[in-house]
Structure 1
Amino acid sequence: MESKIMEQTYQQIANTLLNIIQEDWKQVLLYAEIREGYKKVYFYYYPESGGSPIYSLDIVEIYNMVESEYDRLENELYQNISRLHEEFLEQGQEKWTNLTYILENTGKLKINYGYDDLSQLSPVEKQEKWEAEYLTYDTGF
């Protein structure tokens, strides 16, 4: 069961991504992980013009974005992911450890929740595993 707060948070995540990405895009794939004392959020997007996916941390350099503006928007992403996680707990739903948020430029949204304990994997191992799963094949749209 999704609450109104969850739906609003999904939309706020999309709006923040729209503000960060500096060009037309086809698809955004965002990874988020939350556990006690640890939070991580990053994303890739596929430009409308084609080509390889663009990593979120490369946006500042590629598009000469003001770093403080990027940091502010990235902080919004972290806040929205945290709000979503808290709302899941308040709704009595199973506590997820990570999620993949896939947004199409048509507005279509798909979210995959993960429940595995990822604390034993390094951040690099987790990112490589996620990239292999989500950046190398059709995400189901």
Structure 2
Amino acid sequence: MTTEQIDKCYEEIAQQIIEMIPEEWSTVKLYAESWPGYSTVYFYYDPVSNTQPILNLDIPDLFSVDPDDFILQKRQLRRTVLNLQQMFSEQEMETWTNFTFILNHDGTFKAEYGYEDLTELDPGEKREAWKAKYRIE
């Protein structure tokens, strides 16, 4: 796996997120979790016009976006994130179980990987711990 391949995947993730958000935003915090038989990908973004972060799953309810198109975009984002994980596996690198991608409106970003076993933890507790760590209120 080359740095170029990883950078390309990061760019795809960023572009897909940007296309899903129907308003001006300042920061996006994406969380992904995956192991055999399970995966989840979601993000929160900070709208410029509001102080409350918005969960991507709430976008179709809050804005006039086509729900079917949104589902397709959400699936494509998930596939791209899981493709990143597959790159690690194919290169026999330690495969992450969770991934956080923080994207700023100016295009800068930060990627963090976790490798702990998450299979026995409660999904709601994991989400709340992640939100607390990244100051999503």
Q: Report how far residue 41 of structure 1 moved.
A: 0.4
Partner Cα distance (2:131, 2:47) in 1:
17
SS for the counterpart of 1:49 is coil
* 1:56-135 pair list within 5 angstroms: 56-135=56-135
- In the alignment, what sits opposite 1:3? 3
Partner Cα distance (2:109, 2:89) in 1:
22
- In the alignment, what sits opposite 1:37? 37
- In the alignment, what sits opposite 1:55? 55
Partner Cα distance (2:28, 2:91) in 1:
27
SS for the counterpart of 1:107 is coil
Cα-to-partner distance string for 1:80-117 (whole Å, 9 max, x where unaligned): 01110011112232111001000000111101100110
Q: Report how far residue 132 of structure 1 moved.
A: 1.0
Give the partner amino acid of 2:21: I
Maintained 8 Å contact 2:30/2:41: yes
Count of aligned positions: 137
Q: Report how far residue 122 of structure 1 moved.
A: 1.6
Q: Report how far residue 50 of structure 1 moved.
A: 3.8
Unaligned runs of 5+ in 2: none
Q: Report how far residue 2 of structure 1 moved.
A: 4.5
Partner Cα distance (2:73, 2:61) in 1:
16
1:18 equivalenced with 2:18 (yes/no): yes
Length-normalised TM-score, structure 1: 0.91
Q: Which moved more, 1:50-59 or 1:95-104?
A: 50-59
Partner Cα distance (1:134, 1:3) in 2:
26
